[in-house]
Amino acid sequence: MLTVHHLNESRSQRVVWLLEELGVPYELKTYARDATTRLAPPELKAVHPLGKSPVITDGGRTVIETGAIIDYIVRHHGGGRMQPAAGTADYDLHQQWLHYAEGSAMLPLMLNMYVGRLKEAGAPLHPRIASEIANHLTFVDGALKGREFFVGGGLTGADVQMSFVAEVARAQGKLASYPDFNAWLDRMHARPAWAAALEKTGPYALGR
């Protein structure tokens, strides 16, 4: 059986959401962050040498990186759902969002979180970080204008992957200025599968 190794308040919540949307049977193994350092516990290193989450195991396979995990689950367990047909323009756009979320959009948001902890020492970096966050959120907001989902007419792995970007932006008080992206996240939160995943994974406050 497919197993999700879930760390509280982390990227792995969206993997559980994907599985709930697909109705795929899975086992959920939960791990708690260290209350002081906020780091993952050493037990995760027994699953994968990096000791990070998300990570899934499926038979003899271990898969890391959220985009790769979403792609793997959809291809192996989706039955043709939640991904456009290969060779179409929508498929290429879907793959773009899978890579963009972590490859580009998350970097300034994570820098904002870490540099913010430096207080005055990090002040010189704040304008550039704020500019990059605005650049990415403006791009995503524009891509969603007049659209219910990121790709095509229904939920895909692209929406699942982009959800963490929206969650972190909202946690940092940035999302309200981008109405289309903000409304999109509200729609995702209203989905029954989202609620089911959240019930299993626990509070999702991202350090707020």
Task: Check pLDDT > 70 for residue 207.
Answer: no
Per-residue pLDDT tens for 113-172? Answer: 889 888 888 889 999 999 999 999 999 999 999 999 999 999 999 999 999 999 999 999
**Domain that residue 174 falls in:** 89-191
CATH (domain of 74): 3.40.30.10
Task: Check pLDDT > 80 for residue 208.
Answer: no
Q: Is residue 151 part of a domain?
A: yes
159 and 74 within one domain: no
> Please, are residues 196 and 20 in contact by the beta-carbon 8 Å criterion?
yes
Q: How many CA atoms lie within 13 A of 43 on its CB side?
A: 10
The DSSP code for 44 is: G
pLDDT score of 3: 97
DSSP of 105-129: IHHHHHHHHHHHTTGGGGGGGHHHH
| Cβ neighbours of 205 (radius 10 Å) | 10
Length of the chain: 208
At 206, the pLDDT band (50, 70, 90 cuts) reads low
171 and 107 within one domain: yes
94 and 78 within one domain: no
Per-residue pLDDT tens for 25-72? Answer: 999 999 988 878 887 888 989 999 998 889 999 999 999 999 999 999
CATH (domain of 178): 1.20.1050.10
> Torsion angle of alpha carbons 181, 107, 202, 162, nearest 10°?
40
